[in-house]
Structure 1
Amino acid sequence: MSETFDFIVIGSGGGSMCAALQMRAAGKSVLILEKTDLVGGTTAASGGVMWIPNNRFMKSEGIEDSAEKANAYLDAVVGDSKDAAGASRERRLAYVEQAPEMINFLVDQGIQLRRIPSWPDYYDVAGASVPGRAVVSQLFDIKKLGVWKEKLRPGFLPLPANLDEAMQLPLIKRSGKAKKVLARIIGRVLVDKITGKQRATAGQALQGQMLHAALKAGVGIRLNAAVKEIIVENDRVTGVIVGVQKISARLGVLINAGGFARNQRMLDQYIPGTSADWSSTIDADTGEMIEEGQRIGAATAQMAERIGMQISLPPGSKSLAVKPGMQNDICKPHAIVVDQTGVRYAGEACSHAEFSQRMIERNKIAPASPSWMIFDSQYLATYMLAGTMPGAKKPKSWTEEHFLRSGDTVEALAASCGLDASTLKASVERFNGFSRKGRDEDFQRGDHPYDQWTGDPLSTPSNTLGTIEKAPFFAVQILPGDVGTYGGLVTDTHARVLRADGSVIEGLYATGTSTASVMGRVEPGPGGSIGPSFTWGYVAAKHAINNVKN
């Protein structure tokens, strides 16, 4: 038995339902094929943040931005590289133009979005936005999905709290503002209990809204429907094989099946020294559609790149879908990160993607995977650690299984960690000197707007610098985890998949982490993968509808 649709989408992650909504708005039939039993992909389990320059919310709030400013920023941060085909200047220009249009389209479809009030771009260069370009979903009542509620992939934050509100919660013992935020969240919990709502946040809210809109628009969605083969006839992609069934596509096929962060064989081939066990992507992020694209002649690029997220693995965390991220931990006062020789090698307050990249680079010349986060009792009493709230009391298993190491002196801590005592002591003393002077002369930690934002807003005179001097001293290992790979199929400004010679594979489109990212080797700001996933899905559907061949 065979079927025919206008458009087929492989995978149900970030850009899939965006493309499907565009198709349905044009009166075209569309089918989403999801290989797992849950909808939403890694996007649903993530923060659900989209990096969207010059977006409507910035304009409505009077925040300065423009295409020119955003392009200058991407030129400075991403730049041009012959071996980063996904991040050509032409594609960057197209992204800056199309991303805000995509947001306008979603709003017109009834998707309720908002701008996070403050989340600076990650790099302090020309064109950066200090208020930030982060767009997220409003809270969404997933009970509106009816029977599909149980088919939506769970999120990481089971509270009706916006991301910017959740970021305040670690401060509740020290901040009146944070106490008010907590009261607001508790109020929502009570209202939801009384009214029968179940408001979700972050990526689950975003994908919940997208699923709700897609179902309402008449999008076909099939679960447990893994694509085995992409069909090519007369030099054009015409459909797919699912099981033994052929499903044809009149206008095209869009690949949005994720990257390969959970495929150890591909990691060993393209990003050696990394582990699938360190990833916070979903288990299905295994790259077979990238390889299927290669089979039919598609070019790939940037396969050595990933969106890093430094993590820790406390006892019991290896089975967690989302590993404890450490970026918001290591940037706080009274803490540094050193390699296995005891040397500090990077500014801890930079973005998670940049710091993880530094870990991998450092590991090529000195053992740094894992590295050690070194901190003192001031830190432990004040800040979160590996997903636990501030305070000295930690799970007993942390010490029993040697996850949390300690020592009454820095030298004793070094012995516990197998580090050279004199080297570690010198690293700590050097950082302490910088903290007392108020300037990190080695890595300029705290000099940039993002550093200050991600630090402790209640710490003075610096949000991120603070001496490591109050015993006992502590350490935990951190690893260069990820939230996805950044390399894959090469696409053009219309999201069409290309061959190595630059020619188009007619009828085949791709978006998300199945592609070589438009951001090249960096994440310019929060949402550097989800924003492009939605945008190129939107672009692909528009092109397929118009069937423009240029």
Structure 2
Amino acid sequence: MQVLNSLSQVPAEGAAFDLVVIGAGGAGMAVALFAAIDGKKVLLVERTGFVGGTTAWSAGTTWVPGTHHAAQVNPGDTLADAARYLTNAIGERTPAELRQTFLDNGPEAIRHIETRSDVQFRPYPKHPDYISDLGGSTLSGRALEPLPFDGRLLGDLFKLVRPPIPEFTVLGGMMVDRTDINHLLALTKSFASFKHALRIIGRHASDRLSHPRGTRLVMGNALVARLLYSLSKHTNVTLALNTSVDQFGRGASGVESLELAQGSERRTVRVRGGVVLASGGFNRHPDLRQAMLPGADIGWCPAAPGHTGEAHALAQGLGAVYGQGGLSNAFWAPVSLRQRADGSTAAFPHFVMDRAKPGMLTVNQAGERFVNESTSYHLFGMAMWSARSVPAFLVCDTDALRRYGLGMVRPGASAKDMAPFLADGYLTRGATLDELARKLGINAAGLQASVQKINSYAQTGVDPDFQRGVTAYQQNIGDATASGKNPNLGPLQTAPYYAVKLYPGDIGAATGFATDVHARVLDASGQPIPGLYAVGNDMHSIMGGVYTAPGITIGPGLVFARIATRHAAARAA
């Protein structure tokens, strides 16, 4: 693989490629890798200085039903069950034909990339579909995670992997996944956990002698690093960093060329098979954001910075249209905000570590609950919009804070650990619920009543207001080791009390360009635009704005990367 940091390094004006991919996030890198494996000449264009996009900041979970991995944990699952689940969850929001194409091609795509590259997955022992009470859902087997990766294998390329969100690391840059966190929390209670914690901390200490951060990569960083390492072995791949696309050239056979831009430099390259849009979605394009996500402050978005939507305007100029009928234009998660020392804002997604746990509840300005705190982060974010609860307030008592943490405040935090969060206002503390309400500016009587209710529900194990903890998914992100009758319910009774403010953060685009079963972008008449493809968040989500399961952006992104590559390769032949 050739890495270009300047357009002056680009091959001569008019150089030709079989495939040009716009965006080096997870989906774009997968396109480039599939094409390289097939022997095609590929140009991968990335507007930032890093690869990985938002995939690098994610858990890296990849939802693909029916793979050879599924048999290890759920041998009874079938593609028919998965199709039934998607139909029950999505209905007619997206064409069933597209969903079936994903299901039919998923197992082969996973097997192909694992057989021909260093991208490797394993199944989660238990990782339920998010709407687990629907027919066809399952508790395990469909969600895959990338195997951890030794970043030292990348050599100088390691610096190209987008670093994880700092607030998701510990000890100055050590990445940890769910397994690591559980071991770290139990290191004084279990010899196995102590050994695991000692091993990863020792590795990190060694890393810091020669690297700016840990090289033991997990989750999305591991997936991106595996893609990059695999690409690095192919001489037919060119990666152009800090480069954008200014113009598409259309001819008799469709999209035939692109103009690349970097500062004042310009280069035109020709393309034989096609151009694949994988730029990450519309979310950071000011006009598109205002039109599709009105009222959502860009500062609430926890996604990586590269998805500016600039390539979307170029595609629209060729006649591309967005898909219709989705439940939402974006996928959501509640986030809490804190200014970093460098002046940037950290938007911390509250996925699974706190809000669904016992001793936690979320209220609006009236001090009243408005959502099932244990529902998926997407439905939680949508509930904030529909209930006009922005910001909302995630409240807990001292016991819950110590056990689970609260946003950026880690479990087991001491008074010294909490001091900076209290000082800058990220964390609010009250000796009583009334004091907490006063400091937050919310209704004290409403908060008192909400806590009294949740305390009584904790005794019975039943939440008659929002049915918290009734599904397998909800119970899975609760705390099965807690002593209560419901793993998602526990009393708030140990003062002082704490809270953080929550905002609805868009974690990715659900609305993208309409495509056919070959990932070809469609025009207003439903006809494919020759030579133009879309994958990842540039492609209209086959989930129709419904967050059906963990990894439903990365999984389809990878599978349709395989599909688009095969079709474009045929055009290039």
Map of 1:370-385 to 2, 5 A cutoff? 370-385=391-406
User: Which aligned pairs between 1:206-355 and structure 2 lie closer than 5 A?
Assistant: 206-218=223-235, 219-234=237-252, 236-243=254-261, 244-301=266-323, 304-316=328-340, 323-327=347-351, 328-355=353-380
From 100, 107, 110, give the equivalent of 1:100.
Answer: 107
How far apart are the structure 2 equivalents of 1:247 and 1:95?
31
Q: CA deviation at 1:33?
A: 0.9
Q: Alpha-carbon deviation of 1:54? A: 1.4
The question of 1:169 aligning with 2:184 is answered yes
2:114 maps to a residue whose letter is V
Which of 536, 541, 544 does residue 565 from structure 2 map onto? 541
Separation (CA, whole Å) in 2 of partners of 1:242 and 1:255:
14
**Residues 335, 374 of structure 1: 8 Å contact kept:** yes
1:163–1:201: 8 Å Cα contact kept in structure 2? no
Letter in 2 for 1:114: R
Runs (5+) with no aligned partner, structure 2? 1-12
Question: How far 1:130 moved relative to its partner?
Answer: 0.9
Does the 8 A contact of 1:263 with 1:276 survive in 2?
A: no
| Alignment-derived partner of residue 361 in structure 1 | 386
Counterpart Cα distance in 2 of 1:133 and 1:227: 36
Deviation at 1:98, TM superposition (A): 1.4
Do the aligned partners of residues 519 and 277 (structure 1) sit closer, same or farther apart at CA in structure 2, a change above 3 Å counting?
same
Residues 163 and 335 of structure 1: is their aligned pair in 2 closer, same or farther, counting only changes over 3 Å?
Answer: closer
What is the DSSP-based 3-state SS (H/G/I as helix, E as strand, rest coil) of the residue aligned with 1:56? coil
What stretches of structure 1 of length at least 5 have no aligned partner?
82-86
Deviation at 1:262, TM superposition (A): 2.6
Superposed displacement of residue 503, structure 1: 0.6
**Paired residue for 1:513?**
537
Contact 1:45 1:155 survives alignment (8 Å): yes
Aligned match of 2:441: 418
Matches of 2:258 and 2:224 in 1, distance apart? 25
Q: What CA distance in whole angstroms lies between the structure 2 residues aligned with 1:426 and 1:198?
A: 48
Aligned-residue CA RMSD (Å)? 2.5
* 8 Å CA contact retained: 1:32, 1:221: yes
Out of 136-145 and 516-525, give the one that drifted further: 136-145
Query: What per-residue deviation string (whole Å, max 9, x for no partner) do you get for residues 81-129 of structure 1?
Result: 3xxxxx3111111111112211111111132221222221111211111
Partner of 2:159: 150
Larger CA deviation: 52-61 vs 513-522: 52-61
1:185-243 deviation digits (Å, cap 9, x = unpaired): 23554786899993311112111111111121221111122111122112611121103
Q: Is the 8 A contact 1:40 1:152 kept in 2?
A: yes
Q: Which residue of 2 aligns with 1:203?
A: 220
Q: Report the alpha carbon displacement of residue 132 of structure 1 after superposing the two structures with TM.
A: 4.5
TM-score by length of 1: 0.92
Counterpart of 1:46 in structure 2 is 58
Distance 1:61 1:22, change over 3 A: same
Match of 1:141 among 139, 143, 150: 150
Cα separation, 1, equivalents of 2:209 and 2:450: 55
Q: CA 1:322 to 1:6, structure 2 compared with 1: closer, same or farther past 3 Å?
A: farther
Is 1:469 the counterpart of 2:477 in the alignment?
no
1:390-539 aligned within 5 A? 390=411, 391-393=413-415, 394-461=417-484, 462-539=486-563
> How far apart are 1:411 and its partner, in Å?
2.4
> For the residues of structure 1 that align with 2:343 and 2:81, how far apart are their CA atoms?
42
Tell me how far 1:399 sits from its aligned partner: 2.6
Structure 1 CA distance for aligned equivalents of residues 355 and 187 of structure 2: 20
Change (3 A) 1:322 1:142: farther
Tell me the secondary structure at the aligned position of residue 338 of structure 2. coil
Identity, % of aligned positions: 31
Separation in 2, partners of 1:190, 1:472: 36
Cα distance in 1 for residues equivalent to 2:557 and 2:409? 32
Give the deviation of 1:263 after TM superposition.
3.1
Q: Is the 8 A contact 1:14 1:43 kept in 2?
A: yes
With over 3 angstroms needed to count, the CA separation of the structure-2 counterparts of 1:191 and 1:472, relative to structure 1, is closer
- Structure-2 separation of matches of 1:184 and 1:489: 46
Higher mean Cα deviation, 437-446 or 133-142?
A: 133-142
In structure 1, C-alpha distance between the alignment counterparts of 2:346 and 2:52, rounded to whole Å: 15
How many angstroms does 1:358 deviate by?
A: 1.2
Aligned-partner SS, 2:174 = coil
- C-alpha distance in 2, partners of 1:253/1:162? 35
1:84 is matched with which residue?
Answer: none
Query: Separation in 2 of the partners of 1:119 and 1:191?
Result: 33
Q: Displacement of 1:170 after TM fit?
A: 4.1
Map 1:181-196 to 2 at 5 A. 181-186=196-201, 188-189=203-204
Q: Report the CA distance between 1:362 and its aligned residue.
A: 1.3
Residues 199 and 381 (structure 1), Cα distance of their counterparts in 2 relative to 1, 3 Å cut: closer
Which secondary structure does the structure 2 equivalent of 1:452 belong to? helix
TM-score (norm 2): 0.88
The answer to whether residue 69 in structure 2 is matched with residue 57 in structure 1 is: yes
The whole-number CA distance in structure 2 between the counterparts of 1:421 and 1:491 is 51
1:307 Cα deviation from its structure 2 partner? 1.8
Change (3 A) 1:500 1:322: farther
2:330 is matched by which residue type in structure 1? R
Query: What secondary structure, in the 3-state scheme, does the structure 2 residue paired with 1:517 have?
Result: coil
Deviation, 1:178, is 4.3
The number of residues matched between the two structures is 540
Letter in 2 for 1:480: P
CA distance in 2, matches of 1:520, 1:321: 30
Q: 1:401 to 1:155 in 2, by over 3 A?
A: closer
